[in-house]
Amino acid sequence: MNALIDVLGSLFPILVTLGLGVLARKTGLLNEIGAETLKKVVSRITLPFVIFQAFLTADYGVDMVVVFLVVLALCLATFMAGYLLRRRIPGASPLLPFTVSGYEMGMLGYPLFMILAGPGHMGSLAQVDLGQVLFVFTIYLFMLRRQTGEQKGLKDSLLEIIKNPVMAALLLGLVLGVTGLAGGIVASPAGDLISRITGFVGAPTAALILLAIGFDFRLDKQLMRQVAQSILIRLGVTAAAGGLAILVLFLILPCDAWLLLAVLMMLILPAPFVLPVYSENAQEKEFVSMYLSASTMITILLFAVLLVIKPLMVGG
Give how far Cα 53 sits from Cα of 205, 229, 235, Å.
14, 38, 31
The pLDDT value given to residue 2: 60
Least confident of 6-10, 13-17, 260-264: 6-10
Per-residue pLDDT at 149 exceeds 70 = no
Per-residue pLDDT at 311 exceeds 70 = yes
The pLDDT value given to residue 226: 82
Average pLDDT over residues 137-151: 76
Average pLDDT over residues 219-244: 88
Per-residue pLDDT at 170 exceeds 70 = yes
| Percent helix, strand and coil across the chain, each to the nearest 5 | 80, 0, 20
The C-alpha atoms of residue 282 and residue 86 are separated, in whole angstroms, by: 21
pTM: 0.87
Average pLDDT over residues 68-90: 92
The pLDDT value given to residue 241: 95
Average pLDDT over residues 114-124: 89
Q: Which residues of 10-24 are buried (b: 16+ CB within 10 A; e: fewer)?
A: bbeebeebbebbbeb
Per-residue pLDDT at 263 exceeds 90 = yes
Residue 63 CB-density burial (10 A; 0-12 exposed, 13-18 middle, 19+ buried): middle
Architecture field, domain 2-314: Up-down Bundle (1.20)
Question: What percent of the chain is modeled with pLDDT above 90?
Answer: 35
Average pLDDT over residues 30-40: 88
* Three-point CA angle 104, 174, 299, nearest 5°: 15
The pLDDT value given to residue 197: 93
Q: Rounded to the nearest 5°, which phi and psi values hold at 260?
A: -60, -40
The C-alpha atoms of residue 143 and residue 88 are separated, in whole angstroms, by: 20
Domain ranges for the chain, please list them.
2-314
Per-residue pLDDT at 27 exceeds 90 = yes
Position 42, amino acid: V
Average pLDDT over residues 58-68: 89
